Amino acid sequence: MRNKKSNLLIIYPTFFFQDVYHKDLFYSELPLKSLQISALLKKKENISIDFLDLRFEEELSPLFSKNEIDFLKFKEKVIKVLEHNSIEKFENVSFFLDSSYQYLQTNYISEIFKEEFPKAKIIVGGQHPTAIASDFTNKGSNFNIVIVGEPESVMLDLIKSNYLNKAKNSKQPQIIESRNDFDLNLLPFPDYLSYLNKYNYKNKFNFTIHLSRGCPFNCSFCKIMRTNFRNFSFIQFIKRFEKLQRIVLKYNNKLPKIGFLDQSFNSAILSNKILKYIIKNNLQEIFKFTCQTRIEIVYNHKEILYFFKKAGMVAGFGFESANENLLIEMNKTRNPGNYFKKMKKILEFYKTITEPYCRINTLAGFPGENAQSFQDTINFLETYGFHENIQISPSLFINDPITPVYNNMSYFEEKYGTKFKKEWWNIQSDPLKNSVLPKPSKNYTKAQLIKDYKDQYIHLLTKFKLSPFEPLINWKNYFNKWEKALET
């Protein structure tokens, strides 16, 4: 029998010490994991669910850009927001973290619940709890349930059973490990409408969809939760895809865009079927499509490039580095020379067309990076990727606790003299700055990395024909300030 009395408030936290640049990065993404869980619980267990996205709560947002955390003010505002959202009616509260950046704020809010709303049962899951469950189970923890792995099956079992009440009465938080093999075809369409009825920011959000879950590869920098690789069936995917199209046309009508979230779009069995479906139905005339894919997959199946072209699919290629040693350490390839050859050929194709463009993703500051390896990547991009139809998309290596690097830090310390800040998410300052390695290698410091990153990438970023003016200015200002702070 379904429990119609159960309810759940899903809180999506953000982080403190924000710059405008952070908002460019993080404020357009929907909390898709939370929306998926909401849909599943509503369908299977008929429970009442509400969302609280702290990024968009006007009472709180002014506090996120301060230079210091005013905990008393934060507590006061959080209580006000919770009461405005009828917190007294919710017996269950959950946090599903997409990033370790959210840890500090989540922990603070759990303390507020313990003091002000002690009857609530608090559940936490997602990336950071999966990587380091002990951060939520230490002495004095305010959490009742810690989910390790995929949360869907665990949340269903928790709501069905009486386990939440037992956990509430336990002196220690209970860790529940997921099997990480939930059948994707049993997932209902994510609960977009409930969320968008509350946070209706038209033409502001990125709408994304999965063909699959997990990844068949094992890159050592990857921040994706390790799970079994699974595809949706083509029929089930199309049902979700058609529903999403209608939502995007309603909420992003100025620029209808759909991103495929798969870590490697063309490793999914049905990806070519999807491309053909887009082309057959002329969806490229209505929507802009984006995806992430692998260089070797596209090179070995060159017809994919022509499908991308016909479907208007903007492909992001995870190139990462043009340094042979780093590519091997990243577990991207065992044959860097062949890898470079394939990337060059793909880029040659994009230089012969005007639409769509492609994106090259690079990663700076990985353990072992030095001035020469950094310059190797810049030289490659300047020679082969400096083109108006090629978008260079650099990022800095984040020592996220879910990455293989985090679990193998001693190897990099011994081999390269890498320095790590091991619990950076506890520090009360900008988490992005804290998560970047203090020293990628013995003779290459964070200060030098950030200087090189800012100076060397800026002209590459501006070559792209659709280079966005305001975000680019925000990028430059952020790294200028960071460079100056590191010089002092």
CATH number at residue 219: 3.80.30.20
Q: What is the pLDDT at residue 4?
A: 46
Please enumerate in sequence order all residues whose Cβ is within 8 A of that of 401, keeping only pairs 6 or more positions apart, or say none: 100, 128, 131, 132, 425
Domain-embedded: residue 196: no
Closest to 54 (Cα-Cα) out of 34, 78, 71, 72: 78
Cα torsion 422, 428, 430, 431: sign: positive
**Distance between CA atoms of residues 323 and 447, nearest Å:** 21
Q: Do 101 and 130 form a contact (C-beta atoms < 8 A)? A: no
Same domain (yes/no): 93, 238: no
Bridge partners of residue 316, in order along the sequence = 292, 359
Q: What is the pLDDT at residue 479?
A: 98
Same domain (yes/no): 217, 84: no
Q: Kindly report the CATH number assigned to the domain that includes residue 25.
A: 3.40.50.2300
What are the start-end ranges of the H helices in 289-423?
Answer: 295-300, 303-311, 324-329, 336-351, 371-380, 409-416
Domain span at residue 356 reads: 202-487
Domain-embedded: residue 217: yes
Same domain (yes/no): 246, 347: yes
Closest to 214 (Cα-Cα) out of 168, 179, 257: 179
Report helix, strand or coil for 33: helix
- Number of domain units in the chain: 2
Helices and strands in the chain, H and E counts: 19, 14
User: Burial level of 161, CB count in 10 A (0-12/13-18/19+)?
Assistant: exposed
**Distance between CA atoms of residues 197 and 252, nearest Å:** 14
Domain-embedded: residue 474: yes
DSSP 439: B
Same domain (yes/no): 252, 336: yes
What's the pTM value of the predicted model, to 2 decimals? 0.94
Q: What is the pLDDT at residue 2?
A: 41
Residue 76 is inside which H or E element, if any? helix 71-84
Domain-embedded: residue 448: yes
User: Burial level of 361, CB count in 10 A (0-12/13-18/19+)?
Assistant: middle
Same domain (yes/no): 169, 242: no
Same domain (yes/no): 392, 280: yes
**pLDDT tens digits, residue range 161-195?**
878 888 888 888 999 999 888 899 999 999 999 99
- Count CB-CB contacts under 10 A for residue 54: 22
What is the Cα 377 distance to its own chain's centre?
Answer: 24
Domain-embedded: residue 257: yes
The single-letter code of the amino acid at 123 is I
List, in sequence order, every beta strand (DSSP E) within 183-299. 207-209, 212-213, 230-231, 257-260, 288-293
**pLDDT tens digits, residue range 334-363?**
999 999 999 999 999 999 999 999 999 999
Q: Do 368 and 418 form a contact (C-beta atoms < 8 A)? A: yes
Q: What is the pLDDT at residue 5?
A: 57
Same domain (yes/no): 377, 447: yes
Q: Do 184 and 234 form a contact (C-beta atoms < 8 A)? A: no
What are φ and ψ of residue 214, in 5° steps? Answer: 85, -175
The residue from 144, 177, 210 where one domain ends is: 177
Domain-embedded: residue 137: yes
Where the chain has pLDDT below 70, the residues are 1-5
Domain-embedded: residue 184: no
Answer left, alpha or beta for residue 203, where phi above 0 means left and psi between -120 and 50 means alpha: left
Domain-embedded: residue 192: no
**Distance between CA atoms of residues 155 and 153, nearest Å:** 6
